[in-house]
Amino acid sequence: MRVEIWADVVCPWSYIGKRRIETALAEWDGAPVEAVWRPFRIDPMAPTPASPLARELLDPVVDAALTQCTPGLSPTENRSRVREIAAAEGLGPPWGAAWRANSHAAHRLVALSFEHGGADTQGAVIEEIFKAHFIGAVDISSTEVLVDLADAAERFGVPRARGLLVEGAGDAAVREQLLRGKAIGVTTSPTFVVGEDLLVGAQSAATIAEFLRAREGREGRKLPEEVERFRHSEALLERGDPLGTLELLRPLLDAHVSDPNLRLLAARAYFHSAQLGAARTLLEDLAAASPSDSYVQLLLGRVLERQGRPADAAPHLRMAEAMAPEYRR
């Protein structure tokens, strides 16, 4: 069984969650569990180089961003409580981040560690990153610290970790995983995911074990990668991220450029991201190939309307309304 842990390495509850799932798995007597770490960004606007965290927390925008790591708590309440809980989990002293650091490069190293070394290696590497941020209080976005962390990854079995990091490897994978997390409904760090089920927050070891036990043997048949990518792309559009939809769809469109389902989803994403020319090109082709598709006619009419061409839009809208009365205005 695989449990994916969607978490930001600058979220203290993620480090606490790591200790709690380790406790749960240490006492686990069921089928083998593979714990894989996936990226989440609680503060995507964090600067590089980092800024002193104490000063940044005076900014209400920063304080609000960090609520994604503090479900149900204000950031002020969280910072007070988390020290006590971290201590109870054997973390620190010392304890506490000193920097508002951009975590993207660290997530790249985490992703590369899984790709080149597997789950155990990844777990060891993310432990070093957590320790550097929360115990060492260093800037994990700095080149010097990242190189040290990459050297640690090499010792744990990731070949050429430093070179891969410098070359920008892992960037596309992290960006795609962030979109996948959004598609499946991850909104909090950490979130534990098995199949389609989510456990939100750094729950107790007992709760994590119960969550895993209830899903043991029920992960279901894994969908083909292309089907899963299409479904995640649809979910992103439903969640209001048409640009993310297009990014996830790109490999499928490259491989299956004539597939009408892919082209319609892309056309919808273009429409909702105001890329009307691209939407119109796809929809005109789809309408020519399948003139009885009422939704295609409706969407093409709306695209033409938004382009300021009401006379061209009218026939398509009339046809859509004739075939599907629910489209009548």
Q: What is the CATH number of the domain that holds 232?
A: 1.25.40.10
Which letter does DSSP use for residue 221 in this model? P
Q: Are residues 183 and 246 in the same domain?
A: no
Nearest residue to 2 (alpha-carbon basis) of 26, 37, 39, 35:
35
Residues 242 and 107 in one domain: no
Residue where a domain stops, chosen among 190, 215, 240: 215
Assigned domain for 317 exists: yes
Q: Fill in the DSSP letter of residue 219.
A: -
Per-residue pLDDT tens over the stretch 71-116: 665 556 666 788 889 999 999 889 989 999 999 999 999 999 999 9
How confident is the model at residue 82, as a pLDDT?
Answer: 86
Angle of CA points 126, 206, 217, to nearest 5°: 85
Establish if 257 belongs to a structural domain. yes
Q: Tell me the two tokens of residue 209.
A: 């074990």
- Contact call for residues 63 and 57 (beta carbons, < 8 A): yes
Pull the structure tokens for residue 301.
């009419």
Domain that holds residue 315: 225-327
Report the DSSP beta bridge partners of residue 192: 5, 199
Do 160 and 14 fall within a single domain? yes
Residue 63 has pLDDT above 80, yes or no: no
In a domain? residue 180: yes
For residues 125 and 152, membership in a common domain is answered with yes
- Is this model's pTM higher than 0.85 or not? yes
**Cα–Cα dist 244/48, whole Å:** 24
Q: How many independent structural domains does the chain possess?
A: 2
- Position 313 scores a pLDDT of 95
Residue 56 lies inside a defined structural domain of this protein: yes
Q: Based on the fold, state whether residues 289 and 154 are members of the same structural domain.
A: no
Q: Is 232 helix (H, G, I), strand (E, B) or coil?
A: helix
Among 183, 215, 247, which residue terminates a domain? Answer: 215
110 and 15 within one domain: yes
User: CA–CA separation, 268 vs 279, rounded Å?
Assistant: 7
| Residue of 184, 23, 185, 50 whose CA lies nearest to 106 | 50
Domain final residue pick, 215, 242, 265:
215
Q: How many angstroms separate the Cα of 30 from the Cα of each of 26, 145, 289? A: 11, 38, 53
Whether 220 is covered by a domain: the verdict is no
Same domain, 188 and 260: no
Percentage of residues in the chain having pLDDT higher than 70: 92
Least confident segment among 29-33, 61-65, 167-171: 61-65
Question: Do residues 148 and 83 both lie within one domain?
Answer: yes
DSSP letters along 122-188, please?
HHHHHHHHHIIIIIS---TTSHHHHHHHHHHHHHTT-TTHHHHHHTTTTHHHHHHHHHHHHHTT--S
**Residue 61 covered by a domain:** yes
**Cβ pair 296, 289 in contact under 8 A:** no
Q: Do 197 and 281 belong to one domain?
A: no
Asked, for residue 77, whether it belongs to a domain, the answer is yes
User: Does 136 lie in the same domain as 200?
Assistant: yes
